[in-house]
Amino acid sequence: LAKTTQPISMDSYEGQEVNITCSHNNIATNDYITWYQQFPSQGPRFIIQGYKTKVTNEVASLFIPADRKSSTLSLPRVSLSDTAVYYCLDIGGSGGYQKVTFGIGTKLQVIP
Amino acid sequence: GAVVSQHPSRVICKSGTSVKIECRSLDFQATTMFWYRQFPKQSLMLMATSNEGSKATYEQGVEKDKFLINHASLTLSTLTVTSAHPEDSSFYICSARDRGSEAFFGQGTRLTVV
């Protein structure tokens, strides 16, 4: 059973900022919040990961409140190539043995 | 990020034959590898988790005699679909982790059983 919930789909126009929110109601103390992007017929690609507060890299920002029950992936100025499915996951940081399970993901459609 | 290479990317096989899919971690040692199956317009479904040198742990409903997983080294895991049937046609994806908190994914294998 997936540990996270997120909207099934979102639409956005090119050039806009997109925020995708995920609920982590069952997150464990050692879990890291991790987001992946998947294009059709490809494996998921790591986007960003965080434990709490804000993390930013060259492609996205991740906002995590103090209670860690939610997270928001922020994609600045999306382009058509950002059309994909985005998954939020809780991944255990205490060792590599814990399994990694996916929820349904959010299908982002970027409109010209 | 770390690279996970999966081979082949596409395979077509006849019903009743077996197919082997390889998953390699190229620049790190994968303590744990995961195998997933993904049907069209659906999410990834975890099939099994394997740790190097030990037997794989299968998820409920996944037949271990049909989907043979071998994790013989810290950089290689294989999934063999035995006696494949058309309903086994799917997109199979492997993932690898070291002891850290990231999981890295292969590019996937599209299996078509005819």
Above 60 in pLDDT, residue B28?
A: yes
Confidence band of A101 (pLDDT split at 50, 70, 90): confident
In the sheet with A106-111, reading across from the earlier edge strand, the strands are: A9-13, A106-111, A84-92, A31-38, A45-50
Residues from chain A that touch B45, judged by Cβ atoms under 8 A, are 102
Q: Searching chain A, which residue's CA lies closest to the CA of residue B29?
A: A96
Residues from chain A that touch B1, judged by Cβ atoms under 8 A, are 46
* Nearest CB to B44 within list A32, A95, A102: A102
pLDDT at position B94: 97
A63 contact partners, CB below 8 Å, separation of at least 6: A53, A54, A71, A72, A74
pLDDT, tens only, A12-65: 999 999 999 999 988 988 889 999 999 999 999 999 999 998 999 999 999 999
Interface test with A, best of B26, B44, B49 (most A CBs within 10 A): B44
Tell if the CB–CB gap between A44 and B105 is shorter than 8 Å: yes
Percent of chain A with pLDDT over 70: 94
pLDDT, tens only, B70-114: 988 889 999 999 999 999 999 999 999 887 768 899 999 999 999
Which tokens in the block code for residue B24? 């390699």
A29 contact partners, CB below 8 Å, separation of at least 6: none
pLDDT at position A1: 55
Phi-psi region of A96 (alpha: psi -120 to 50; beta: other; left: phi over 0): alpha
Above 60 in pLDDT, residue A96?
A: no
Tell if the CB–CB gap between B101 and A32 is shorter than 8 Å: yes
